[in-house]
C-alpha cells in the first residue's frame, strides 16, 4: 500500500487553510489513517482550526489502544470538535472558525470513511469505475435532494460554498460514515473543494486512471486545478491499494 498527501495554496488565496495527513502504519487503535481538513474563519483562524483538529485527533488516537478502530476515531473527532468549539467561545480572534473533515482508514477487508462538510472521498475501482463516496453537507446538495435546485445550475454554482456541517461551530457535530469493501478497489482520493470546484469528476478520474506515479498523480491534480483558476486551496490524499503498491 502506498499513500501521498499534498496541499497547495492555489492562485488566489493569501494563505493555505487546508491540512492533510497520511500514515500507512498504526495510529493508536487505527491500522492507518488518512485525512483532509479545510478550515474557515478570518485572522488565520481557519488554518489554526484545521491544523489543530488534525493534531488533536492524532493525539487522542495515540491514547486509544485497546479500542475498536471506528469508535476510537469517532470519539477522537467528537473530542476535538468540543475542544475547538469551547476555544472559539473563549477567544475572540477565533470566533467563527470551523473546518471540514474527511478521514479514512483501511482494515483487511474494508475501508471506513468519515466525513463532515464538503470535503470528499472518491473511489477508483480496478475496472476503471470512479465515483464519489461521501455526500456533501452543503446548502446546494440539500436543495438538490429536496428537488428545489438542479446540480450544476447557475444558482447551484453561486451557492456551492455554503456548508451545513462543520467541526468547531457547535458543541456537538454529526458525521456520516461509509464502509467500502476492498475487493476491486484500486485507489481512494480524499480532497477539498479547491479541487472539485475546479475539476469535474470525469477530469479527476481520467488523471487517476493514468500511468503516473502516485506522487505525480497528486501533483497533476493540483496543477490541473490551478490551471483552471486555482480559486481556493487545493488538497489531495491518494491511497493506492493496487497490487505491488509500495510506500515511496
48 φψ region: left (φ > 0), alpha (ψ -120 to 50), beta (else): alpha
Chain length of the chain: 248
Whether this model's pTM surpasses 0.75:
yes
Q: Kindly tell me if the per-residue pLDDT of 248 is higher than 80.
A: no
Structural domains of the chain, with CATH: 2-135+163-240 (3.60.40.10)
Grade residue 67 by pLDDT with cuts at 50, 70 and 90.
very high
> In DSSP terms, which residues pair with 187 in a beta bridge?
124, 240
- In 3D space, the residue among 50, 47, 48, 41 whose CA is nearest the CA of residue 21 turns out to be 50
pLDDT at 84 (0 to 100): 97
pLDDT digits (tens, 9 = 90+) for 107-126: 999 999 999 999 999 999 99
d(CA 230, CA 237): 18
Residue 117 φ/ψ region, left for φ over 0, alpha for ψ in the -120 to 50 degree band, beta for the rest: left
Residue 206, C-beta contacts closer than 8 angstroms, at least 6 positions apart: none
* Percentage of the chain modeled with pLDDT above 90: 83
What pLDDT was estimated at residue 186?
Answer: 97
Per-residue pLDDT, averaged over 165-192, amounts to 97
Task: Identify the helix (H) or strand (E) that includes residue 190.
Answer: strand 185-191
Q: What is the pLDDT of residue 202?
A: 97
pLDDT 10s digits, 187-196: 999 999 999 9
Amino acid at each position: 500500500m502506498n499513500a501521498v498527501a499534498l496541499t497547495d495554496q492555489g492562485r488566489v488565496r493569501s494563505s493555505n487553510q487546508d491540512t492533510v495527513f497520511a500514515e500507512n502504519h498504526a495510529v493508536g487503535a487505527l491500522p492507518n489513517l488518512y485525512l483532509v481538513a479545510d478550515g474557515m474563519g478570518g485572522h488565520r483562524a481557519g488554518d489554526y482550526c484545521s491544523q489543530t483538529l488534525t493534531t488533536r485527533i492524532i493525539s487522542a488516537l495515540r491514547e486509544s489502544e485497546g479500542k475498536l478502530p471506528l469508535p476510537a476515531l469517532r470519539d477522537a473527532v467528537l473530542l476535538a470538535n468540543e475542544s475547538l468549539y469551547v476555544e472559539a467561545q473563549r477567544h475572540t480572534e477565533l470566533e467563527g472558525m470551523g473546518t471540514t473533515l474527511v478521514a479514512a482508514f483501511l482494515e483487511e477487508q474494508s475501508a471506513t470513511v468519515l466525513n463532515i462538510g464538503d470535503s470528499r472521498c472518491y473511489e477508483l475501482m480496478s475496472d476503471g469505475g470512479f465515483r464519489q463516496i461521501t455526500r456533501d453537507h452543503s446548502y446546494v446538495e440539500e436543495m438538490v435532494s429536496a428537488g428545489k435546485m438542479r446540480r450544476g445550475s447557475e444558482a447551484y454554482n453561486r451557492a456551492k460554498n455554503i456548508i451545513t456541517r462543520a467541526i468547531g461551530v457547535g458543541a456537538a457535530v454529526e458525521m456520516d460514515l461509509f464502509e467500502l469493501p476492498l475487493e476491486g478497489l484500486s485507489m481512494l482520493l480524499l480532497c477539498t473543494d479547491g479541487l472539485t470546484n475546479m475539476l469535474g469528476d470525469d477530469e479527476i478520474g481520467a488523471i487517476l486512471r493514468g500511468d503516473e506515479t502516485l506522487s505525480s498523480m497528486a501533483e497533476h491534480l493540483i496543477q490541473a486545478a490551478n490551471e483552471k483558476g486555482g480559486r481556493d486551496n487545493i488538497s489531495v490524499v491518494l491511497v493506492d491499494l493496487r497490487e505491488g503498491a509500495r510506500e515511496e
